[in-house]
A and B are shown apart, each in its own frame.
Chain A
Amino acid sequence: MISFQKVTKIYSPSSIALSDVSFEVKQGEFVSFVGKSGAGKTTLLRLLCAEERATQGTVFFEDQDVAKIPASQLSHLRRKIGTVFQDYKLLHSKTAYENIAYVMEVMGATDTEIARDVPGALEIVGLLSRSHHYPLQLSGGEKQRVAIARALIHRPEVIVADEPTGNLDPYHTADIIRLLVKINELGTTVILATHNKEVINHLGKRVITIEEGRVVRDEERGKFIL
Chain B
Amino acid sequence: MFTATLQRIVRSGWEKFSRDTSSSSAALLVMVIVLSIVTSLFFLQGVGSFLIQSLRESVDVSTFLKDSAPAEDIEALQQSLVALPEVKEVAYVSKEDALVQFMERHKQDQVILDSLDAIGQNPLLASLNIKAWDPASFGKITAFLETTPLASIIQNVDFHERAPVISRLAAITSGVRTGMLGGSIFAGLIAVLVAFNTIRLTIYSSKEEIEVMRLVGASNMFIRAPFLLQGIIVGGLASVITFTLLVPLTLFLSSKLETFVPQFSLFEYFMNNFFMILFLQLFVGIGLGVLSSLIAIRRYLKV
Asked if residues A83 and B215 are in contact (CB atoms below 8 Å), the reply is yes
Give every chain B residue within 8 A of A111 (Cβ-Cβ). Answer: 4
Give every chain A residue within 8 A of B215 (Cβ-Cβ). Answer: 49, 51, 78, 83, 85, 89
What CA separation (Å) do A90 and B212 show in the bound complex?
7
Give every chain B residue within 8 A of A92 (Cβ-Cβ). Answer: 208-209
A72 CB–B CB distance under 8 Å: yes
What CA separation (Å) do A87 and B134 show in the bound complex?
72
What CA separation (Å) do A85 and B303 show in the bound complex?
15
Q: Which of the 9-residue segments A4-12, A29-37, A100-108, A208-216 touches chain B?
A: A100-108
Asked if residues A93 and B209 are in contact (CB atoms below 8 Å), the reply is yes
What CA separation (Å) do A195 and B162 show in the bound complex?
96
Give every chain A residue within 8 A of B213 (Cβ-Cβ). Answer: 91, 102, 106
How many residues on chain B are close to A (CB under 8 Å)? Answer: 25
Asked if residues B218 and A75 are in contact (CB atoms below 8 Å), the reply is yes
What CA separation (Å) do A71 and B206 show in the bound complex?
20
Question: Given A93-B209, A150-B216: A105 and B1 within 8 A (CB)?
Answer: no
What CA separation (Å) do A76 and B217 show in the bound complex?
7
Asked if residues A106 and B303 are in contact (CB atoms below 8 Å), the reply is no
Give every chain B residue within 8 A of A89 (Cβ-Cβ). Answer: 211-212, 215
Asked if residues B212 and A71 are in contact (CB atoms below 8 Å), the reply is no
Give every chain A residue within 8 A of B19 (Cβ-Cβ). Answer: 93
**Which residues A95-117 have CB closer than 8 A to chain B?**
102-103, 105-108, 110-111
Asked if residues A93 and B216 are in contact (CB atoms below 8 Å), the reply is no
Give every chain A residue within 8 A of B303 (Cβ-Cβ). Answer: 51
A79 CB–B CB distance under 8 Å: yes
**Which residues A37-59 have CB closer than 8 A to chain B?**
49, 51
Give every chain A residue within 8 A of B214 (Cβ-Cβ). Answer: 74-75, 78
B174 CB–A CB distance under 8 Å: no
B220 CB–A CB distance under 8 Å: yes
Question: Given A49-B215, A106-B222: A91 and B209 within 8 A (CB)?
Answer: yes
Q: Give the secondary structure class of B's interface.
A: helix
Asked if residues A107 and B217 are in contact (CB atoms below 8 Å), the reply is yes
Asked if residues A78 and B16 are in contact (CB atoms below 8 Å), the reply is no
B75 CB–A CB distance under 8 Å: no
Which interface residue of B4, B19, B218 has the most chain A CB atoms within 10 A?
A: B218
**Which residues A57-75 have CB closer than 8 A to chain B?**
71-72, 74-75
How many residues on chain A are close to B (CB under 8 Å)? Answer: 28
Nearest chain A CB to B92's CB is how many angstroms away? 77
What CA separation (Å) do A35 and B302 show in the bound complex?
30
Asked if residues B216 and A78 are in contact (CB atoms below 8 Å), the reply is yes
| Complex: chain A residue closest to B212, CB-CB | A89
Asked if residues A103 and B217 are in contact (CB atoms below 8 Å), the reply is yes
What CA separation (Å) do A93 and B14 show in the bound complex?
12
What CA separation (Å) do A85 and B48 show in the bound complex?
62
Nearest chain B CB to A193's CB is how many angstroms away? 16
Interface string of B2-22 (1 = CB under 8 A from A): 001100100000011001100
Give every chain A residue within 8 A of B222 (Cβ-Cβ). Answer: 75, 105-106
B79 CB–A CB distance under 8 Å: no
What CA separation (Å) do A83 and B303 show in the bound complex?
15
| Complex: chain A residue closest to B216, CB-CB | A103
What CA separation (Å) do A79 and B222 show in the bound complex?
13
| Complex: chain A residue closest to B210, CB-CB | A91
Asked if residues B16 and A75 are in contact (CB atoms below 8 Å), the reply is no
Give every chain A residue within 8 A of B209 (Cβ-Cβ). Answer: 91-93
Asked if residues A106 and B218 are in contact (CB atoms below 8 Å), the reply is yes
B178 CB–A CB distance under 8 Å: no
Question: Given A89-B212, A90-B212: A75 and B217 within 8 A (CB)?
Answer: yes
9 A-B interface contacts by CB (under 8 A):
A51-B303, A75-B219, A78-B214, A91-B212, A92-B208, A93-B206, A102-B218, A106-B216, A108-B1
With contacts A93-B206, A108-B1 known, what are 8 further pairs, Cβ within 8 A? A51-B303, A77-B217, A89-B215, A91-B212, A93-B19, A93-B20, A102-B218, A106-B216
B interface residues, Cβ below 8 angstroms from A: 1, 4-5, 8, 15-16, 19-20, 206, 208-209, 211-220, 222, 301-303
A interface residues, Cβ below 8 angstroms from B: 49, 51, 71-72, 74-79, 81, 83, 85, 89-94, 102-103, 105-108, 110-111, 150
